[in-house]
Amino acid sequence: MRKPIIAGNWKMNNTKADTAELLTALKPLVKDAKAEVVVCVPYTAIDTAANIIKGSNIKLGAENVHWAEKGAFTGEISVKMLVELGVEYVIIGHSERRQYFGETDETVNMRAKAALAGGLKPIICVGETLAEREAGKTDEVVIRQTTGAFKDIDKSELDKIVIAYEPVWAIGTGKTATSEEANATIKVIRDTVAKLYCRDCAETKVRIQYGGSMNPKNAAELMAQPEIDGGLIGGASLKAVDFSQVVKY
């Protein structure tokens, strides 16, 4: 049985003061959650978040990480820097990173391998654009992205990896794939992992989230689908009550 995992992706939101207020409110709301709870916060808020959630069931995540251990990479952050702050999870390959900052399947793979080598658990994002969906290329895109992301990653690392299926056209738009559409595409992703490794690996080790505008209204229906193991939550993660309702779908 794959344990559900609900992760909040705050994106470029929340100061240290906002972080303190939100997480202080969130802790009691999710303390009995059956799902694993993660908050992926901006770099400037990591230390604040770590102090507030210490001793709680909320895990700490970051929103990106570089593949190099150190060096001349202005504006980037390393695995060691994040681990030192108590970070456990890190989002890699989010569509906004691909769209605005030149992320590729190759760099996603490099970041994922570095994260694993340094003790972080990557949440690897895959998903198609609206044009790709309308052209009937959804399966082709997620197979390519998944295959690229897992290149040269050993089977022994699979239980540390989470995949987030994020249809680009459903992020921040209020649109969402139907629960059946999301489930079908996530099955394609899981089948791809099975082909790369083994069926048991795909069924028991790798958790796959849905990340296209999951919210308190649609979380239960999406989470009822057999292939969906959780959600990577954007807007709804910025409000303690909304996020807790998703966590307790």
Query: Distance (Å, rounded) from C-alpha 75 to C-alpha 113?
Result: 20
pTM of the predicted structure, to 2 decimals: 0.96
Residue 94 is among the residues annotated as catalytic for this protein: yes
Strand extents, DSSP E, 93-200: 121-126, 162-165
CATH fit for domain 5-247, picks 3.40.50.720, 3.30.930.10, 3.20.20.70, 3.60.15.10: 3.20.20.70
pLDDT of amino acid 212: 82
Q: Name the stretches of the chain with pLDDT < 50.
A: none
Q: Which residue is catalytic, options 63, 96, 103, 166? A: 166
Element (H, E) at 133: helix 130-134
Q: Which residue is catalytic, options 36, 63, 66, 94? A: 94
Query: Distance (Å, rounded) from C-alpha 88 to C-alpha 102?
Result: 25
Residue 5 DSSP one-character state = E
- Per-chain mean pLDDT for the chain: 96
